[in-house]
Amino acid sequence: MPIFYQHNINPSTTLGIWKIEEPESFFLDKVPPLKHQVSHPYKRLQHLAGRYLLPFLFNDFPLEEIKIADTRKPFLESERYHFSISHCGNYAAAIASGVQRVGVDVELVTPRIKNIASKFLSDKERAYLDEWSHLPALHLEMMTVMWSAKEAIFKWNGAGQVDFRKHIKLNGAMVSLAGDWLEVPFIFAKGKPHRLRIIARNFNGLILAYVASEASVLT
């Protein structure tokens, strides 16, 4: 069973990463059919693996109750659990909580992120990342952390129509935590501004970022 990583964030919130090594039939035996059409076989495999993770995190997770919002966000109408799913390459990640909104994202560190940097980084954020420009590998890693963190916030919000440069703003320096984790402070500035604390880590070229804390409203 290739559970790549699992982390109990608090008594009501858990996340995990699954390394996909199984065929689609493995997941179809355990996961209800997807309620939305995913035509690409590998994309479908990734989606199924993400769903499979949810009852692995909470064994009473009601997969059959998952619905898809107009924004393409999966959700439970009962809000029995708040959850978020992400997939990239051979990995799927999921986070679930019984008490608070959550968001998760996984990304592979590749130079391709530079091609879209102007779409998600403000001028101030690019200047901040340029502090690592003399260390190309680290600079690329931190840029990927920024993208992954903003994706996690986008999923936490769940309402769509978010401008990553305008509405999701870095709010201070990244801080190193124990165990190779990073804390990245943001302000989500669409509507009433909220402070958010993103936690991220690099697993040998796979970036994980998640938000699982209640946002504080700026007054």
pLDDT digits (tens, 9 = 90+) for 17-59: 999 999 999 998 888 877 667 778 898 899 899 999 999 999 9
Using CA atoms of 18, 22, 25, 27 in order, give the dihedral in degrees to the nearest 10.
-10
Q: In the predicted model, what is the mean pLDDT of residues 191-219? A: 85
CB within 8 Å of 75: residues ≥ 6 apart: 66, 67, 68, 69, 83, 158
pLDDT digits (tens, 9 = 90+) for 147-160: 999 999 999 998 88
Distance between CA atoms of residues 59 and 50, nearest Å: 14
- Say if CB 110 and CB 205 are below 8 A apart: no
CATH 3.90.470.20 maps onto the chain at: 3-99
CATH level 3 topology of 105-217: Nuclear Transport Factor 2; Chain: A, (3.10.450)
CATH 3.90.470.20 correct for 3-99: yes
Q: What angle do CA 207, 208, 211 make, to 5 degrees?
A: 140
Distance between CA atoms of residues 103 and 156, nearest Å: 4
219, pLDDT greater than 50: no
What was the pLDDT predicted at 29?
A: 87
